[in-house]
Each structure stands twice: as C-alpha cells, then as structure tokens.
Amino acid sequence: MTVKVVEDSNFEQETNTGVTITDFWATWCGPCRMQSPVLDALSGEMDNVKFVKMDVDANPATPASFSVRAIPTLLIKKDGEVVERLTGFHNKEQLANILDKYTD
C-alpha cells in the first residue's frame, strides 16, 4: 500500500471507513520530511490501515476544521471518528504500537 494524497474536497470520503491515519504536513516543514518515510514504510506493512497525507498550505479548510495548529499532526480515525491525535515526529515503532490499538 502507499500513502495517498488527499485534498479538502475528498478528505471525508477517503477517511470515513476503517482505520485511517492522516499526516498533515507542509513542504517547508523539517519534521514533516522526517515523518514521511516512516509513514511510507508502515503503509507497506500494515494492510489494515489506510495512510493519507494532506498539504496544509494547499488545503487549509480540513486542517482548520480539526484545529491543526502545528505540523506534523497525525490524525487517526476509526470508521470516521477521530480516536487519536499526535503532534510532532513519531518513529515507526511508536506509530505501529498506536495503530495496533485500533485494528482488529
């Protein structure tokens, strides 16, 4: 699996079923550039989680609706409901452990 790029227009549709993790990021953000390869690696290992990313500069409405004030922010949803929110860089092991809580 790969990390899918989403926009304001399709965010809800892409994250309303199953377990999803959204990476809110920007091209100028150093910690975001560190987080991206971690999500890429996990997306290849965790078939039961959908990985998406959203550029906050190009898509301001969705981050604003979730009060994203710092990036990277990772939003974990299960069946469309936010179950966890993480801010800052998280390594692969940390994220895998957190995501395992929400997968069957």
CA distance 34 to 70: 15
Catalytically annotated residue among 6, 32, 42, 74: 32
Active site residue 29: yes
d(CA 93, CA 96): 5
Helix (H, G, I), strand (E, B) or coil at 49: strand
Measured distance CA(97)–CA(31) in Å, rounded: 20
**Of the residues 1, 5, 26, 29, which is catalytic?**
29
- Give catalytic status of residue 43 as yes or no: no
Which residues are annotated as catalytic?
29, 32
